Amino acid sequence: MTIKFTTRLSTENIVSKSSETATTPVGYVHSFETFGSVDGPGIRFVAFLQGCRMRCEFCHNPDTWNIGSGEAYTADELIAKALPYKAFWGKDGGITCSGGESLIQIDFLIDLFKKCQAQGINTCLDTCGQPFTYKEPFFSKFKKLMKYTDLSMVDIKHIDSGEHKRLTGFSNEHILEMIEYMSNHGHHMWIRHVLIPERTDYDTYLTRLGDYVQTLDNVDRVEVLPYHTMGIVKYEKMGIKYPLAGIEPPTHDRIVNAERLLHTADYPKSNANIRKF
Ligand code: SF4
């Protein structure tokens, strides 16, 4: 969800699917980043999966929204594409799936992360949680995915459900349910929050969010991500009106204030069951 410098796909990257069986899950990928440094621990190979149902006003990658487009990869093909970079991963790095919203392609994720772990590759899921539900068949798949996920980076877009809906098009109850499930079942998380003037940058909301996160277990890091306007050019190219026109990035003082109210310095908590990477 935080695409920084991406390597766009080209046709020579696509591997033939002719040898795959019909039941092999296929993932649709928007782009790759080969040396990701902000998408999980260490240096990581990041696959930005295509498709997202949310419509965050601040989204800087509207080109990832469309579901079902992108370039198709099997898990084996994606791992083969990542492995040449393994020497750079060290003991902490590995493969991250981001988006778009990766959980939309949960069958592919299960297959990919299972195969990664079998090869000793660290797995990180970057998600906004929108697809999460306790309904079947999703929930059983989610539990299976968590078995193969070393770390989840979870965005909380807004702590207030009504404001969350205004900001993203969806309320946040099911997202908080997913986070609480992870908290209660030993699944390690980094919690991230985009700081946006006139949307999330209010002390009352930040205090609520900080208090909420403090009730959770297995949170290894809390990050404030300052809103930026780098995505505007994509909206212009796609002919979409930019929803946050006129809103500037937060000031340094407001970023420091948000970090204080979210208690970012408290993580990882000294008494927590901290995942060692
Ligand atoms: S969750 Fe929001 S920010 Fe992330 S891809 Fe979807 S619309 Fe964009």
Average the pLDDT over 68-86 and give the result.
Answer: 97
28 has a pLDDT exceeding 70: yes
Does 184 reside within a domain? yes
Would you state the structure tokens that stand for residue 74, as one six-digit string? 């099997």
* CATH number of the CATH domain containing 47: 3.20.20.70
Does 18 reside within a domain? no
Please say whether the beta carbons of 72 and 28 come within 8 A.
yes
Lowest mean pLDDT among 10-14, 50-54, 221-225: 10-14
Average the pLDDT over 135-140 and give the result.
Answer: 98
Which protein residue has the closest C-alpha to ligand 1 atom 8? 59
Q: 52 in ligand 1 pocket by Cβ < 6 Å?
A: yes
For residue 122, the surrounding DSSP H or E stretch is strand 122-127
Does 12 reside within a domain? no
Q: 74 in ligand 1 pocket by Cβ < 6 Å?
A: no
Average the pLDDT over 181-195 and give the result.
Answer: 98
Confidence of residue 275 (pLDDT cuts 50, 70, 90): low
Domain count, the chain: 1
Does 5 reside within a domain? no
Task: Residue 133: give the domain boundaries.
Answer: 25-266
52 has a pLDDT exceeding 70: yes
The ligand 1 atom at the shortest distance from the C-alpha of residue 168 is 2
At residue 49, the 3 state secondary structure works out as: strand
Does 65 reside within a domain? yes
Q: 152 in ligand 1 pocket by Cβ < 6 Å?
A: no
- Which amino acid belongs to residue 265? A
Does 168 reside within a domain? yes
How big is the chain by its Cα radius of gyration, in Å? 18
Whole-number Å distance, alpha carbon 87 to ligand 1 midpoint, is: 31
Please give the Cα distance from 220 to 192 (Å, whole number): 11
Confidence of residue 120 (pLDDT cuts 50, 70, 90): very high
- Helices (H) then strands (E): counts for the chain: 8, 9
Please say whether the beta carbons of 99 and 154 come within 8 A.
no
Does 20 reside within a domain? no
Does 130 reside within a domain? yes
Please give the Cα distance from 234 to 238 (Å, whole number): 6
For the whole model, what pTM was predicted?
A: 0.90
pLDDT of residue 269: 81
Which protein residue has the closest C-alpha to ligand 1 atom 3? 59
Please give the Cα distance from 31 to 84 (Å, whole number): 17
- Which amino acid belongs to residue 224? V
